[in-house]
Structures are given as C-alpha cells and as structure tokens.
C-alpha cells in the first residue's frame, strides 16, 4: 500500500499495520499535526519519536514480542503513545475500560496475563484492592502522582511513575510487526459470563479504518473530533488509524460534554465528528449556544450509530452537516460486515449491504441458509486474511463454539431483502418466542421507553410452563411517578401487538449491568417471577386478540 492508494480500497495481498502506516506518514509529512489534546499539538514526527522512546523503555522492563501490556488510561497523549510503543515492540496492547473495578478489573488483568500495567494514578487504589489475584503482574507504572506508595509497591508489586520510563532512546526499531500478528485484545462485555478477550490483528484494525473511509471519506485537510474513550476500538481504529492513513488530524477530548462540544469544535477547527448516536441525539436536543452558531456548516460528516431520522434532520438542517450517521452492522469479532459507500441509497431501516470483504448469511438453528425476507441468525466468514478476529484469548473452546461449522455465529438476528439490503432485528439471546410468535426485545424496549414515567426498561424472557417464553418488563420509574403495573399494562395494550403484551411487570430501583452499561438480561431471566412481580394471570384484566 502506498501513500497514493485510496485508503478505502482493498486489493488482493494488500495488508497493513498501524506502525507501517505511521512510518509512511512520517516520511511523507513529518511536521503535519496528528494529535490535538485541548490545544496541545503533536506532529506525526513527535508521536513517532515519543512512542519509539517509550518502546525502548518498556523493552528495558522486559516487554517482548507477543507479550501483553495492560493500559488503564484516560483520553490523553500517553494513552496513544503507550499503545504505539507496545505495538512497535510487536507486543500485544490490552486497553481496559477505565470504569472497571473489583472483580471486573481483576478478571481482565489476570486473564490477559500481563506483567506490565500502565494506569492513571487515580486507578492505583483499584489495582491495590485486587492485587492478590494478579500473580502475573510484575510492574505497575502510574501516570501522575500516586502518593507515598512509590517503590513500596502494591501488595508486593513494584510501583513506579511512568515519567521515569518514558525513555530517551530515539534509535528506530527495525523489527516490524506483520499484518497478521496479534496487535491487541479487546474485551467483550460478557453478558452471559466473564468477559472474553477478542484477539485482533494489525490488519484487522487497519481494515476497519479503511472501511470507515469507504463509508465516509476524509482528506488530509480534515480534522476529526472525538470524545470516545481510547480503550475502545472505535477511537483507536476509526478515530486515529483512519486519519493516519490520509495524513489528517485528530482532536481528542477528555470526555463527552454537551456544553463543551461546540466550543471544542470551534477551537479545533473540526470538520468530522466521531461520536455515539446517543451523543448526537443529546446535542440535537440541546439549546443553541454562540459557539454552535459560529460552527454551522463546519462539521460536514458525523460518524456514529444509531441516529434517528429526526436527529439526522436536525444535524443537517440546524448544524449544516451533509452526512450523518452510518448504515452498517458489525461486532468486535467481525469488524464491519455490512455497509454502504458514502452517498449511496440505503433502504429505510436497513444497515447497508454485504461488503466484499465478508460473506454474510442468515441461518436457522440447524445452520441451514434462510431465504430473503426470513429472519435468522447472522453468520459471517471472511473473504480476505486477517480481517476478522483471530479467536478468543486463551479460550479455544469458546472460539470453537462461536465458529461452529466454520462460520462465526454472531448471536444476532437479521435478514436480507430481495435487493440485498440487510436489516438487524435483535440479539438472539434476547429474542422472545411466545405462542409461536417471534418478539423483538429491541422493538419492545423502544415502545416502552416512550412511556413518560419510565426512566429505564428491559424486556426479557421468562421460561413459560406452557413452553417457549412469557414476556416480562422490568423497569425503573422516574422520580415522583405513581404509575402502577396495571396502568402500564393498560397503556401497553395500545402500544404493542397483543401477542407481545407482557405477562409480568416489575418495578425496581436499579437494573443489573456490566461495566459497559449493558443490562444483564440473563440475570433478570434467571430470576423470573419474584415476590414483587405483577402477574397478568393473577389480575382481573382480560386481553382480547386484535
């Protein structure tokens, strides 16, 4: 791949790594700015030099090719430099969610098997609480002051400031990673058990960046702004690598803020926003401010999903954006497998079409392909090398399970129409079947979320003694609400199909969630009917089919 090749294109034999891409960029435009952290700018050459120095320092601590290095870092320059330094050593970067604590944190550090952990000083105490369960960890480097614990260690683990290990050796590292080598572990949410590390190659991450450029092109003149955390694949690949490929700049903000978004857009000169759909919705609902008014038309592309049609209209008509949101489907294990190039027509409600990199099909429970229009499990396999995950870290049984019959079984439900457009329907594990009818929990939750008295809602299955499932709605009421379960049910009779009406309703003060904020429906499903659950069959309400 040369610097003149369109980064969204793919040709047989063309594979890449972030280190090779950075090398090309440094050779072509060393003084061009790559990173903007709140007005502190770092050129391509500076990023290259700082990461080389840190790589030598990590090597002096014993980090070798193939070893894992855990980072628990906020959105700052060190998160990027640490990631690149690890990759320059052909070691494996393991960026962890900064919200992890307790057993969630211990499990992922221990599972990764890392000897070196790099973290913010504020997170040292969290590691101290679980240090007894981290036998592989030999060194913890903290960013910022961590008090008097330096040198004494955490439960016997050596602790030292990162500032002492930034390095000063500018000697280029000649041993380069190959595209198919393991670049990082990204831990999945683990809604049905402990989190699993997805093994991702260098080429996987570069291919994801190229696919983003296919869906929404960028040039060297663009500036991308993102508040997405640097422990997420989106920020690393879509946010940084895609811009390295075109020689552009990335403005990374510490965290998302509605009030500070437009001032940062104005300050940075951003022309592309890489955000979550929920962030886009909040910005669309916010009142105008002076910075927003001055930035009308400055952001031409907004990356992120999902955006409602109303939100898209606000971004186009009020903010002046030309391309808003994306049409695509993917998952950590399989990258993006359906999408559309920028500007191409997408059927309403669809998530694009199959991209050439992947074979995507719809199977029944016996792995038989289903015809267009019929929903079933989405299965995937690659048409190119190293564009899908390499398996689950240290979990060959789980890898074999998800790769049944040589197809990656996503656990999601979808369908294709006669024209090849893809439609996501639901998560298979959240898919409900009642009285011979398939019920989408996603659609049900969307419906119930419209009720003004509900703050949060989860719709899930409860095994029915009659076979298949009964439907349960578990929800959190807004403060001050006096809504009863019976009133909610009566409201639902006009909001959802009769066959989807819940048998059970329960109000709670909290919902069980994983560190990423996803509701743990398997816990709710296992609890079933509790002492505080309202049961339709024990009420006097009669439901008529309609």
Exposure string of 179-200, with b = 16+ CB inside 10 Å and e = fewer, is: bebbbbbbbbbbbeeebbbbbb
Residue whose tokens read 């980090």: 63
Sheet holding 159-161, edge to edge: 159-161, 139-143, 116-120, 68-72, 92-95, 182-187, 197-201
Residue 455, phi then psi, degrees to nearest 5 = -85, -40
394 and 467 in a common domain: no
237 falls within a domain: no
Exposure string of 34-47, with b = 16+ CB inside 10 Å and e = fewer, is: bbbbeeeebbbbbb
31 falls within a domain: no
pLDDT, position 468: 73
379 and 504 in a common domain: no
Average pLDDT over residues 167-195: 87
390 and 352 in a common domain: yes
243 vs 239: CA distance, rounded Å: 7
SS (H, E, C) 260-279: HHHHHHHHHCCCEEECCHHH
407 and 456 in a common domain: no
DSSP string, 143-161: ES--GGGTTT-BTTB-EEE
518 and 375 in a common domain: no
For residue 42, CA distances in Å to 5, 21, 123, 448, 461 come to: 25, 17, 26, 47, 51
Q: What percent of the chain has pLDDT over 90?
A: 72
Q: Is residue 191's pLDDT more than 50?
A: no
For residue 78, CA distances in Å to 58, 85, 128, 143, 531 come to: 13, 10, 22, 8, 50
Domain boundary among 392, 411, 428: 428
15 falls within a domain: no
191 and 158 in a common domain: yes
Q: What is the total count of domains within the chain? A: 3
Q: Which residues are CB-contacts of 148 (< 8 A; sequence separation ≥ 6)?
A: none
362 and 438 in a common domain: no
Q: CATH number of the domain at 108, please.
A: 3.40.50.980
pLDDT band at 216 (very low <50, low <70, confident <90, very high): confident
Sheet holding 353-354, edge to edge: 329-331, 335-339, 353-354
pLDDT, position 1: 39
498 and 402 in a common domain: no
pLDDT digits (tens, 9 = 90+) for 303-361: 987 787 888 999 999 999 999 987 889 999 998 999 987 778 888 889 999 999 999 99
pLDDT, position 290: 97
420 and 439 in a common domain: no
Sign for the CA dihedral angle at 62, 63, 65, 66 comes to positive
Sheet holding 408-416, edge to edge: 358-363, 376-382, 408-416, 422-427
pLDDT, position 469: 83
The whole-model pTM stands at 0.81
423 and 355 in a common domain: yes
472 and 418 in a common domain: no
Q: Which neighbouring-strand residues pair with 476?
A: 456
Domain that holds residue 469: 434-538
Q: Are 211 and 336 in contact (CB under 8 A)?
A: yes
Q: Are 204 and 183 in contact (CB under 8 A)?
A: yes
pLDDT band at 438 (very low <50, low <70, confident <90, very high): low
pLDDT digits (tens, 9 = 90+) for 29-78: 999 999 999 999 999 999 999 999 999 999 999 999 999 999 999 999 99
Domain boundary among 148, 178, 201: 201
56 and 185 in a common domain: yes
- In the structure encoding, which two tokens stand for residue 452, read together? 């003004």
- In the structure encoding, which two tokens stand for residue 292, read together? 């927003």
Domain boundary among 383, 398, 428: 428
246 falls within a domain: no
Summary mean pLDDT of the chain: 90
Q: Are 422 and 353 in contact (CB under 8 A)?
A: yes
């Amino acid at each position: 791949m040369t610097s003149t090749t369109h980064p969204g294109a793919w040709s047989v034999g063309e594979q890449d790594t972030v280190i090779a891409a950075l090398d090309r960029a440094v050779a072509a435009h060393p003084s061009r700015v790559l990173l903007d952290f709140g007005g502190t700018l770092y050129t391509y050459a500076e990023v290259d030099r700082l990461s080389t120095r840190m790589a030598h320092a990590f090597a002096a601590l014993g980090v070798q090719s193939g070893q894992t290095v855990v980072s628990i870092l906020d959105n700052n320059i060190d998160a990027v430099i640490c990631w690149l330094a690890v990759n320059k050593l052909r070691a494996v970067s393991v960026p962890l969610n900064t919200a992890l604590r307790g057993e969630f944190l211990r499990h992922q550090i221990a599972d990764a098997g890392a000897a070196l952990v790099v973290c913010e000083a504020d997170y040292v105490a969290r590691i101290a609480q679980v240090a007894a369960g981290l036998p592989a960890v030999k060194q913890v480097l903290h960013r910022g002051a961590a008090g008097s614990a330096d040198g004494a260690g955490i439960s016997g683990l050596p602790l030292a400031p990162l500032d002492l290990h930034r390095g000063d050796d500018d000697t280029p590292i000649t041993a380069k990673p190959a595209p198919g080598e393991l670049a990082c572990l990204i831990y999945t949410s683990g809604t049905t058990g402990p989190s699993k590390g997805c093994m991702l190659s260098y080429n996987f991450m570069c291919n994801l960046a190229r696919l983003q450029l296919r869906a929404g092109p960028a040039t060297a003149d663009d500036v991308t702004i993102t508040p997405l955390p640097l422990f997420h694949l989106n920020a690393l690949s879509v946010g940084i690598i895609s811009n390295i490929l075109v020689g552009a700049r990335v403005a990374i903000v510490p965290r998302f803020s509605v009030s500070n978004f437009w001032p940062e857009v104005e300050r940075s000169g951003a022309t592309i926003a890489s955000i979550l759909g929920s962030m886009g919705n909040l910005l669309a609902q916010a009142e105008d401010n002076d910075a927003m008014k001055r930035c009308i038309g400055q952001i031409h592309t907004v990356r992120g999903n999902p955006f409602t049609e109303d939100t898209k209209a606000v971004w186009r008509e009020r903010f002046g954006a030309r391309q808003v949101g994306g049409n695509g489907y993917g998952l950590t294990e399989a990258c993006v497998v359906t999408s559309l190039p920028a500007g191409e027509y997408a059927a309403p409600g669809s998530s694009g079409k199959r991209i050439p990199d992947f074979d995507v099909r719809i199977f029944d429970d016996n792995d038989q392909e289903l015809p267009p229009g019929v929903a079933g499990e989405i299965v995937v396999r690659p048409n190119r090398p190293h564009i899908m995950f390499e398996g689950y870290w240290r979990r060959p049984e789980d890898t074999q399970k998800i790769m049944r019959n040589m197809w990656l079984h996503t656990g999601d439900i979808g369908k294709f129409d006669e024209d090849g457009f893809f439609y996501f329907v639901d998560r298979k594990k959240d898919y409900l079947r009642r009285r011979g009818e398939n019920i989408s929990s996603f659609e049900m939750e969307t419906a119930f979320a419209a009720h003004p008295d509900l703050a949060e809602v989860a719709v899930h299955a409860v095994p029915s003694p009659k076979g298949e499932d009964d439907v349960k709605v578990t929800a959190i009421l807004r403060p001050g609400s006096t809504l009863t379960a019976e009133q909610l049910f009566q409201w639902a009779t006009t909001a959802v199909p009769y066959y989807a009406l819940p048998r059970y309703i329960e109000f709670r003060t909290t919902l069980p969630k994983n560190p990423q904020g996803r509701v743990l429906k398997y816990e709710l499903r296992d609890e079933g009917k509790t002492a505080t659950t309202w049961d339709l069959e024990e009420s006097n309400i009669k439901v008529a089919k309609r």
